[in-house]
Each structure stands twice: as structure tokens, then as C-alpha cells.
Amino acid sequence: MIDIFKGVNAIEFGKHFKDNETCMSYLASRKWQAGYSCFKCNHTEYCKGNLPYFRRCKGCGYDESPTANTLFHKLKFDLTKAFHIVFRVSAKKKSMSTTELAKEVGVTQKTAWIFKRKLQEAMKSSEQFPLTNEVHIDEFVLGQKEEGKPGRSLGEKKIAALVIEIKPNGKVGRAYAKHINNYKTATLKDVAKKHVDKGAQLVSDKYKSYDSFDEEYPKHESVKSIAGKNFTEIHNHIMNLKAWIRGIHHSVSDSHFQNYLDEFHYRFNRRNSMSSIFNNLIRKIIKHSPFTFNQIKASAV
């Protein structure tokens, strides 16, 4: 069994994954860590496949690569480079733009973008662990000010709803954001239902769309927002998120806005466990089914 890589040191990472063979060996170890089960027939006995680290099912003869049926499926460039991108996107505090990634690993910007888009799929929330304790909810706008479109007016701007957990000790816990198209009650409730436990103390401002939240959230509290002097945690989070998008990516399209929200919060929610974040993302990549370029294009519609 290969030791799980831990840490965020780029030099140590390079030593650990120095070539395709070490990457393939690591991937095989992680993929079949809990035991082998044939992808085709679920048979649990295997022998060596045609190539190193492949496994051939003794039941149906299916020869499976460590990359097969994962987000590495039919990878068009070296696995070493793919591992490097996974490390940079997960372990680097602010990640990197696809232009930077392309230059660093020696692929085209389009190739780097497509692969990073696949990683963003793995970074999506499972929605299986709702926020508890005190949870603040608010919406924010990304985009330049437009004449005649003040405040919550949409115009050409992108909007999202954000929920953030405040722990009993006053520290910020996890947070999630969802790209939305309007500020209607049903839209904002849907965001809360995906990420907030019904027993949480949900706190919102006095915007009318939150008036009926008491029905689903008995502990809902509506508090007047005072020019950013309260709701400090959620406002700081929004500023950091906007600064990340504008500073690293400069801008994001409306059709891919959610993917960048998912990426940002994947790292944010694991900020206290960075030593294992690379391996966590590798695990998610292995569990995720292949995500083709056609699927990427379809998801952007």
C-alpha cells in the first residue's frame, strides 16, 4: 500500500510524483483501496491486466485502467501533468487561472480549462451535510454598477445566494453559494433547503423574500442590516470571494459562475484540513464518472 500524500509543499509533491508510473501506482492504490469490484460485472476477483497497474476481471475479462471510469478517463496528456494541476487547484490557497496552469505544466490554455472544469465537477457539494448552529443567509451581486440598476436590480450582473455557518465560539464554519436568477422567496428557500438544517438558527436581513422562512425554519430570525455593520462574517466572505474572482480569473461567464462558486467553497470548507486536500480531491475524481467535453458544453447552456 502506497503512503497517502499529505501537505501543500510543492517541492515535496514533485518528489513524490516524479513520473507517470508513480502517479499511476498511486491512483491504482487509491482506486481499489477498499477492494476490487469489476466495473462491468461486479466480480471481485482479478488478475494482472495487459499493462502495469491494470486489473483484469476473472469473471468477464474486462481490463481496467486506474484512470478508467473516473474524471481522468481518456486523459489527453501525461498523468504527471494532471496530478500537478489537481495539486495546484486544491492545495494552492487561491488556486490558479487556467492561463497560468497551462504555462506551468506545458499544455494549451483550452486543455487546462477543460481539465479544470472537470475538477470543478468533483468539487461540487454533496449536499449531504447541512449547516447547523447559527446560519446567516444573504445574496450578492457580481459585476459592474449599471446606470438605473441599483441595489438588488439585476441588469447584466450575476447574482448568488450565500449561506455561512457561525459556530458557538463565534468562528466561521462552512459556507456554500448558489448562482440564482432572481430574489424570489422560492429561489432563496431552495438554496436554504439544499444546505441548511431545519433546526438551525437561520438569520437573514429584512428583505421581503425572507418573510415566510419561518414556515420551514422555526428559529428563523430577521434582522435589520445596518450598512455592513452587522452580518460582518458574511460580508467579509463575499468581499473575499469577489476579490478571488477578479484577482485570479478577472471575470467569469454567467454559464460557468456556479462552477467557480463550487471551487472557491471546496477549498474554503477544507481550509483547516489542507494537509489532506489533495488526496481528498483525488478520491472525488476517482468516484466521479467521466465528464466529457460535450457534457461540459451542454452544462454551459
Q: 38 in a domain, yes or no? A: no
Position 227 confidence tier, pLDDT thresholds 50, 70, 90: low
Position 143 confidence tier, pLDDT thresholds 50, 70, 90: confident
Q: 244 in a domain, yes or no? A: yes
Evaluate if residue 206 carries a pLDDT over 60. Answer: yes
Grid cell listed for 127: 449536499
Q: 230 in a domain, yes or no? A: yes
Evaluate if residue 147 carries a pLDDT over 50. Answer: no
- Give me the domain span that covers residue 203: 134-249
Q: 232 in a domain, yes or no? A: yes
Evaluate if residue 230 carries a pLDDT over 50. Answer: yes
Strands 63-64 and 55-57, by their bridges, are antiparallel
Domain count, the chain: 1
Q: 158 in a domain, yes or no? A: yes
pLDDT for 16-48, tens place per residue? 999 999 999 999 999 999 999 999 999 999 999
Give the global pTM: 0.93
Q: What is the CATH number of the domain that holds 141?
A: 3.30.420.10
Higher pLDDT, 151 or 147: 151
Q: 282 in a domain, yes or no? A: no
Query: Over the chain, what HEC string results?
Result: CCCCCCCCCHHHHHHHCCCHHHHHHHHHHHHCCCCCCCCCCCCCCEEECCCCCCEEECCCCCEECCCCCCCCCCCCCCHHHHHHHHHHHHHCCCCCCHHHHHHHHCCCHHHHHHHHHHHHHHCCCCCCCCECCEEEEEEEEECCCECCECCCCCCCCEEEEEEEEECCCCCEEEEEEEEECCCCHHHHHHHHHHHECCCCEEEECCCHHHHHHHHCCCCCEECCCCCCCCCHHHHHHHHHHHHHHHHHHCCCCHHHHHHHHHHHHHHHCCCCCHHHHHHHHHHHHHHCCCCCHHHHHHHCC
CB 245 within 8 A of CB 262: no
Q: For residues 281 and 15, what is the distance between their CA atoms, to the nearest angstrom? A: 19
Residue 220 burial by Cβ neighbours in a 10 Å radius (0-12, 13-18, 19+): buried
Q: 144 in a domain, yes or no? A: yes
Position 172 confidence tier, pLDDT thresholds 50, 70, 90: very high
What per-residue confidence (pLDDT) applies to 145? 53
Averaged over 201-205, what is the pLDDT? 96
Indicate the average pLDDT of the chain: 93
CB 57 within 8 A of CB 46: yes
pLDDT for 45-97, tens place per residue? 999 999 999 999 999 999 999 999 999 999 999 999 999 999 999 999 889 99
CA angle 100, 103, 108 (to 5 degrees): 105
Position 157 confidence tier, pLDDT thresholds 50, 70, 90: confident
Instruction: Report phi then psi at 12, rounded to 5.
Output: -65, -35
Position 254 confidence tier, pLDDT thresholds 50, 70, 90: very high
Q: 180 in a domain, yes or no? A: yes
Q: For residues 82 and 37, what is the distance between their CA atoms, to the nearest angstrom? A: 25
